[in-house]
Amino acid sequence: MGSPDYNQHVTIEVLGSLSTPVIIAGGIPSFTGPHFDASNTVERLFQVIQNAIITHADNIRVVFHPELGYPLEIGINPSSRQVDDEIEYSVTDFTVLP
């Protein structure tokens, strides 16, 4: 079984190029490990999509924001012949700061 961090809602705050992934469990914030580094900004989510295309993932599903164009949902299944290798991303409460 993977890290429990992977199975929880994660809030990532990004200001400029700095990001802080935080898991809120029972109202207590907990900083996550480095496994979110590859997906902790919108730019990096686009790279996640590009990497799935380059590596010929068996299934790639992406829903983009209709006006701003950033990914709202990403679902990737690298191999339909393997179990539990799927990964899902969901972007909610996205706010562009002034």
Of the candidates 28, 27, 20, 22, the residue with the CA atom closest to the CA atom of residue 9 = 22
In this prediction, residue 2 carries a pLDDT of: 47
78 by Cβ neighbours in 10 Å (0-12 / 13-18 / 19+) ranks as middle
Domain boundaries, the chain: 1-38, 41-92
In this prediction, residue 42 carries a pLDDT of: 87
In this prediction, residue 51 carries a pLDDT of: 96
Q: What average pLDDT values come out for the chain (98 residues) when binned by 10 residues?
A: 56 70 61 70 91 96 94 93 87 78
In this prediction, residue 38 carries a pLDDT of: 78
Distance of alpha carbon 89 from alpha carbon 97, whole angstroms: 21
